[in-house]
Amino acid sequence: MKEELCYVGIAMHPQARKRLEEQYEVTDDESRIGQARAAICYGVPMEWTLPGKAEKLSAIGCHSCGEVQGKWVQERGIRLTLADSLWRTVAEHTLGLMMAPARKIPPADRAIREGKWKEHVTLKERFSGFDFQGKTLGILGMGQIGRELADLVRGFRMQVLYYDIVRAPEETERRLNVSFRTFDELMKDSDYLCILVPLADETRGLMGREVFSMIKKGCILINTARAGILDEEAFLEALSDGTLAGAGLDVFWDEGCLQKKELTERDNVVMTPHLGGSTYECDLALVEGVIAGAQ
């Protein structure tokens, strides 16, 4: 099948990409989409639905597909593979970003790598962290990722609260052992606060100075959604004045660039380069889907 072309528009785990390359010629050049038999992308672009744009496609693997694009896929008889495991994958990364600043794992690791082990007692004092058990986790946005996260933390003996504009069904609350709170209550009660709402007009800059003024002092904030939900200056102030005890970030206001020293020089901030959905298993599900769909 090597004569067939597959367009890949996302960063991919090397082993998953190798599996794809066993079956396809692989290109990252979207201008060749008209020649491609298969495609792997984050979301199906609207322009692909235009006449003559992507007429050879018989299989698409993606993380999301809009209503219009979904109808186009169905009408064309294109096999669509969605990585259903994505939500759990992002939730697992979110949990990792909760743990890392809470237990100060990255700076402790750096201290050992820099040969400071002889300062063992001092290091233990400097990098003593915080428990999960007995603490309150606040989830802002009880969507698919929020529900997966709530399920993951059930063994940590945490109280799990959430806020969303649409309250979850009672059965979901019982199954996950989560409690609904107002937005203000969530801010005031959370020892750990995970941002999992989508970026939209109503959520852009949602976490501003007024919100940080009411947030529980010593809270650890994790953002694996979109950076624009946080007002950058208000967030940096909250880190500087001790309102936040730490943060875990997978998204940034200017991705791909050197971040401000207010972030990079802080031991209590853990940063990853938008890795939430990046695992071998998640990528392989898309790869196997487009291989099966084009046969």
pLDDT at residue 261 in the model: 85
Cα 244 to Cα 257: distance, rounded to the nearest angstrom: 24
Q: Residue 145 burial by CB count (10 A; 0-12/13-18/19+): exposed, middle or buried?
A: buried
- How far, in Å, are 151, 177, 196, 248, 279 from residue 162 at the CA level? 13, 11, 10, 19, 27
pLDDT at residue 245 in the model: 96
Write the pLDDT tens digit of every residue in 24-66.
Answer: 999 999 999 999 999 999 999 999 999 989 999 999 999 988 8
Contact 71, 267 (CB under 8 A): no
DSSP run (H or E) holding 60: strand 59-64
Contact 101, 248 (CB under 8 A): yes
Following DSSP, what letter does each residue of 198-250 receive, concatenated?
Answer: PP-TTTTT-B-HHHHHHSPTTEEEEE-S-GGGB-HHHHHHHHHTTSEEEEEES
Cα 284 to Cα 281: distance, rounded to the nearest angstrom: 5
> Which one of 3-7, 82-86, 147-151 scores highest in mean pLDDT?
147-151
pLDDT band, residue 72 (cuts 50/70/90): very high
Q: What percent of the chain has pLDDT over 90?
A: 84
Which segment of 109-113, 144-148, 187-191 scores lowest on mean pLDDT?
A: 109-113
Which segment of 1-10, 165-174, 208-217, 282-291 scores lowest on mean pLDDT?
A: 1-10
Is the whole-model pTM more than 0.75? yes
pLDDT at residue 119 in the model: 67
Q: What percent of the chain has pLDDT over 70?
A: 98
Largest CA distance in the chain: 68
How large is the average pLDDT for residues 226-250?
Answer: 96
pLDDT at residue 295 in the model: 66
Contact 144, 170 (CB under 8 A): no
| CB neighbours of residue 105 within 10 Å | 15
Asked whether the predicted pLDDT for residue 20 surpasses 90, the reply is yes
pLDDT at residue 89 in the model: 95
pLDDT band, residue 221 (cuts 50/70/90): very high
pLDDT band, residue 257 (cuts 50/70/90): confident
How large is the average pLDDT for residues 270-293?
Answer: 93
Measured between its terminal Cα atoms, the distance across the chain in Å is 9
- Catalytically active residues are 226, 255, 274
* Residue linked to tokens 């058990």: 133
Asked whether the predicted pLDDT for residue 255 surpasses 80, the reply is yes
How large is the average pLDDT for residues 12-16?
Answer: 96
pLDDT band, residue 224 (cuts 50/70/90): very high
Asked whether the predicted pLDDT for residue 10 surpasses 90, the reply is yes
pLDDT at residue 273 in the model: 93
